């Protein structure tokens, strides 16, 4: 990772500890996308801050349809980063404080790799003995230890990584059910990264996540699904498309500490209902829709068209996706 790596955050708060610390990393460009609720006087050294007016002046088509007061405002930050030559975009949030040694592994190399075709696995169990699972993990598998990756199953293999997901300590990304029934603070074990082979998958989020340029279309954050589903749906859609183009998803030990902004766990639960109902349907729909012979962007479009047939997304989503794909294509020719 180098100066060709941009970090993108959206925030409605004054600069947080996380923003200030990311801004102090000299090898990275931090882009913060504001929203209508963001302070009018928002300012922080070494940050490209995009106000709503700035975003509308950028000339991108999706600004005409992207909702306000929505996490999807991040996408305007992605477009700025792409336009300015980013080779890797790191997605994170304003409550994820990077550790002093925060970084991601190389995008290509030899890594401990899972077996193929295991379906959903609970990657958190490779980083802690605590009974915990990622947001978006199928509920019917939570007590099924057959869907934990055993250490003896991992083999060292060469891989082209499309996306790295770094874990988060203290208040990691879990669902509201975990928070309502347990909510134990968790600090993950230090260990080497794990890469998932084709057919083996795990939900991932947008909190400490690095994406390579070839896959920038997959950064699309659906804006017409529930808030707690948006990045989970993005991550589920991405995985079969990664495989189709020869890339892999990898997970690293925690490299940020999350001091989570206040949440209402029951409201989170309500917003997460699609995460509980749809993960297997999403994977099945995307898998049957995509084609190895077309581009990443075309596969994303096919995937969402199939999800619309399944009534998992709406036609509004397709309209916004088309604007996103046109904007990305204009920048990556």
Could you report the per-residue pLDDT of 192-247, keeping only the tens digit for each? 999 999 999 999 999 999 999 999 999 999 999 999 999 999 999 999 999 999 99
Burial classification of residue 287, based on how many CB atoms lie within 10 Å of its CB (0-12 exposed, 13-18 middle, 19 or more buried): middle
Cβ-count burial 123-161 (b if 16+ within 10 Å, e if not): bbbbbeeeebbbbbbbeebeeeeebbbeeeebeeeebeb
Span 8-13, average pLDDT? 96
pLDDT value at position 261? 73
Taking only the tens place, the pLDDT of each residue in 245-300 is: 999 999 999 999 999 877 899 999 999 999 999 999 999 999 999 999 999 999 99
Q: pLDDT by residue (tens digit) across 288-319?
A: 999 999 999 999 999 999 999 999 999 999 99
Question: For residues 62 and 302, what is the distance between their CA atoms, to the nearest angstrom?
Answer: 19
The predicted model scores a pTM of 0.97
> Which tens digits make up the pLDDT trace of 131-156?
999 999 999 999 999 999 999 999 99
**For residues 227 and 229, what is the distance between their CA atoms, to the nearest angstrom?**
5
**Is the pLDDT reported for residue 22 higher than 90?**
yes
Asked if pLDDT for residue 2 goes beyond 70, the answer is no
Domain residue extents for the chain: 96-331
Query: For all residues of the chain together, what is the average pLDDT?
Result: 96
Strand partners, 2: none
Predicted local distance difference test score (pLDDT) of residue 114: 98
pLDDT in the model for residue 1 = 39
What is the crossing angle of helices 230-244 and 279-289, to 10°?
Answer: 40
**Residue 120, pLDDT score:** 98
Tokens 């996380």 correspond to 18
Tracing tokens 């978006």 back to the chain, one arrives at 136
Grouping H, G, I as helix, E, B as strand and the rest as coil, residue 212 is strand
For residue 262, the model assigns a pLDDT of 77
8 Å CB contact between 206 and 74: yes
Q: What is the mean pLDDT of residues 177-191?
A: 97
Alpha-carbon distance of 331 to 49, in angstroms, equals 20
CB-based contact 253:226 (threshold 8 Å): no
pLDDT score recorded for residue 3: 58
- Alpha helix ranges (H) inside 182-314: 230-244, 265-277, 279-289, 296-309
Q: What is the DSSP string of 51-111?
A: -HHHHHHT--GGGGTPPSSSGGGHHHHHHHHHHTT-SEEEEE-TTEEEPTT-----SEEEE
Q: Tens digits of per-residue pLDDT, 49-72? A: 999 999 999 999 999 999 999 999
The token duo for 127 is 């980083």
């Amino acid at each position: 990772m180098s100066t060709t790596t941009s970090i993108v955050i959206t925030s409605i708060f004054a600069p947080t500890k996380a923003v200030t610390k990311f801004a102090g990393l000299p090898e990275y460009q931090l882009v913060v996308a504001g929203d209508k609720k963001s302070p009018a006087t928002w300012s922080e050294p070494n940050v490209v801050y995009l106000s709503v007016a700035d975003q509308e002046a950028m000339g991108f088509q999706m600004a005409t349809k992207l909702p306000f007061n929505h996490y999807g405002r991040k996408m305007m930050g992605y477009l700025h980063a792409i336009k300015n030559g980013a080779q890797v975009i790191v997605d994170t949030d304003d409550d994820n404080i990077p550790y002093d040694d925060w970084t991601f592994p190389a995008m290509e190399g030899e890594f401990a790799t899972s077996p193929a075709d295991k379906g959903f696995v609970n990657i958190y169990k490779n980083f802690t003995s605590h009974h915990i699972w990622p947001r978006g993990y199928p509920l019917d598998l939570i007590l099924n230890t057959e869907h934990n990756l055993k250490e003896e199953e991992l083999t060292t293999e060469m891989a082209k990584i499309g996306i790295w997901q770094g874990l988060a300590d203290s208040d990691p990304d879990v669902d509201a059910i975990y928070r309502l029934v347990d909510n134990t603070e968790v600090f993950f074990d230090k260990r080497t990264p794990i890469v998932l082979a084709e057919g083996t998958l795990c939900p991932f989020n947008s909190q400490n996540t690095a994406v390579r340029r070839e896959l920038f279309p997959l950064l699309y954050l659906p804006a017409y699904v529930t808030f707690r589903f948006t990045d989970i749906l993005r991550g589920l859609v991405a995985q079969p498309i990664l495989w189709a183009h020869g890339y892999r998803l990898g997970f690293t030990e925690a490299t940020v500490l999350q001091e989570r902004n206040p949440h209402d766990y029951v409201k989170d639960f309500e917003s997460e209902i699609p995460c509980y109902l749809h993960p297997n349907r999403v994977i099945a729909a995307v898998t049957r829709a995509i084609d190895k012979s077309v581009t990443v962007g075309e596969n994303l479009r096919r995937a969402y068209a199939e999800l619309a047939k399944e009534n998992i997304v709406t036609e509004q989503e397709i309209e916004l996706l088309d604007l996103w794909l046109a904007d990305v294509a204009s920048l990556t020719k």
